[in-house]
Structure 1
């Protein structure tokens, strides 16, 4: 594929008045101030050649200039619009995909959420943009230090879902519209990544500064962790791909510029007064003397620090409990029956105001004097099939017992506890592993009854019987042969209809005119071969019958007619030459061509072979040539030959082998004429 000396076209940014006309932001967070931070971006696009380009970028930030400690606030950020050309240098740009922007999670604040702002993107398709929190490896992580705008995290690198030679994620297609809705006359296609809202709770002091991702490897020029990456696709003598990576710097060899610093600064103001709190109390309506119950106090806001002292009828119970995440819980057993008035007093730490919860009543009673003994028995099937549900039944006596039954298999709980009704609890369960399963049933009694367990019962679980696979048998036989000269009869057996599996076992019985020829031939890797010599001239119908093997069923090939003629001293000798590519890709069709040299070679057939395995059916010779389009399915060196059958008055011949080196599929970048770079011109 010819190479173009340089990549001449890059993405053009929206700047100046075009930015104002094409503004896509819908509103701003409450009390926010909008600012625009401009900086230079150096981008590297890698194909068979590498191109470096410096562009002008900006990020628009809507955020308050200051917040109070503990205040919830929102930062809105959006990168500038971009464009890519229709074509350049003979290459036609197809689209950009796998678009990504990475930002830092700002420090000195607690992250709450991040969301795409509806209606703020332009000309994006394929996968809807989303924002996720990621770790250094680019994987989703609730505690990760970065926020990523992408489509399903499908990017060119630094993600569990990456590719540099296939479309994915957010895609920017061709369009004739500018950002302001007007019609584009220069052929450029415009797009813009959406804005995101980041909601946070301010810390105690300091400043909060949103930034693009530049920490660690993200600061390295041309790295997959760069804050902005994308994948350009173009067409010129095939598909061309160019992964592009951008960092804030003034030139390829320069250090990071101001674009790696704060995009905006939000000051955390000193709190003039302590924060008011409210305390609420949750207790059970009833309790039994001697049995512990949970008393829970909830303090708002949930970052309040301090302790809660629980009281019953005005008397402190237990020690003060530290508030964690706005909650303090005391496990307490009342020792006297009667109505208990429970309260909770929050004693605040520094920065907060103490508060108390309204009293709640717990009615405490003594336990029932004697619980009724129970017995539990278990009924299970003797056998089961993996994946097919069977009933496991526990019977509890007496039949008025209340409670639940937990079934277990080999000591592990299966399903949720089943409520006992009329003395019976039944679980429909499908075992997923073959073997002996020891099933038990534990009855957990309700009030007034005693728990009990059933003796273990064994269920022998087996896998379902394998499903037979239909096969198809295909003959590969030359259409022409000579009396007394050997020819090879080939039969290929595979799964029907998918060809996904081939048997290695079983036999093929070859037949001519319905009569068995020789002994059955063993099938190896889906192929059986029988050398045969025709003893008389004429047209003979050849077929083959596969015996079946294991889960593979038997099948019979459609018959193939072979025209057999008597060789004569006047037969003209032939020679066969083979033309095949020296290399090929898996999944990509190539052409195999056999040329038969002989004055009488106007008929007959050519059978192509990959090693000793026939490739498809025999191909008719037309004008001295036979051509076959073939797609290789495995990598490695493939030895290809072509065998000419001969014809009336012409002898058969075999070509010299040609080796085709087959590699994995994929495009190259030798002729890429147009790429897109983000953020500026």
Structure 2
């Protein structure tokens, strides 16, 4: 602190013996950290504590930096410093730094909701004394615990004030005793101000010339913050440093301001003709600093010379992290083969979702990114080229990105297929059952011819949803038969023959009653939407269970026949054709029976033409049950 504070010198008056000596306490002070000057000080005189505080300068802050022609406002408070009882004060007198003058009508006094006498003194200061609510004997303010006298006054700084630290010239308090009207007073330079050239600081970036918009920045990339400082009332270069702050905390070291030169090499001026200086700091935000930040620039005269401190308006910066998205898929696959399309997003810490596309068509719903990766499985029955791409939609401060190159997959002919007869194991002579075979990989069409002991007994289409072919057939006599399924091939898929499958045929039990089973399929043939499967068993009294199947795959558990009806629901997840059947497994007095396959087509919601399920063929009409 500069040594301008004078030691308090108070006249000590003798008072009556019952009062004793006048006591002067030690001053308590608060300082402005930017200037080192006191903003407040307090002392005790004869049990009256008087405190003077700088409460605001012309910029509205409690700062000792003031400008020529500006203002500064003080608060002076008298209070009781005793632990009990009353003390008295008749008046208070405040004198500002030399040349400062009280602003007319700025003086106010608060005392127990009473009025006080006020006066603007010829030296620029002010005074006040008790008027209402005074002590009955000597017109004093009565200071009780919690009952204070508070003055506020604003002083005008001269337009030609010295650019220096200016202490005030003291505050006097007339402290009265009750007996004999004795009076003591004191004067002390409580506070000081720094008069300097007014500066103005603005903050900008290369992408924010108007200093008002929200500035987008990318983590890991340098951004340049520039603070322009002008001295409003002084020619030439401003001297000092700028400390940049982020969310209220300093970052980087203070940067000296230097003159900004125009194209002629002279110091540039702003629109009002003020010389411009600047300080620049380059900074990059880390990935974990994603989000909104408040940046400011604080100019200070590092030499505490003659330039007042100033702070820029806040600049809002939103930091996000750029991402890159790459996609991969097999260059070639066989028709019907299952493969994976994979996306990798960098950095691996990114969070969000990935939308896969085949050409311009979205492939399902967006897939959450996990550990920087997302993948989907695909299969194509048609020969051709598929062009995969993906778009990443980020969250939590990660920017969107899209693949810049596609992953092209060529679906070619399968140079192999496998045909396998899977059922039935046992037949009953004279009763129709289903011959069933599977073809792998699942073809995009084609048919299978079944042969029994080398003789073709029928040809049926292969389901494009599951690769299963189902043909109703009846063996006339009991015995053992060799069954072979021959896939006849189709575009993209070569033909293949199954190995021999042995079927055992037995005669029906004479004591059992024959049954027949029919199947009805209702609902929309849309992937993911349930279909209703209803089996009807005749005669109506037949008892047992119905096992529904799609190709060779059971649909749920067997369903009990009630009132000749068994029903269930099922939703297919993949597009294609399927052969649906219902096998009645009878109780002991009835013979088993099976419905002829009902071939249905399942498609996506986008391609469904409306109406009911697409029944391509009901083989019951050909073969019965």
Give TM-score scaled by structure 1 length. Answer: 0.28
Larger RCO of the pair (alpha carbons < 8 Å, separation 6+): 1
Task: Give the TM-score taking structure 2 as reference length.
Answer: 0.31
Structure of larger gyration radius = 2
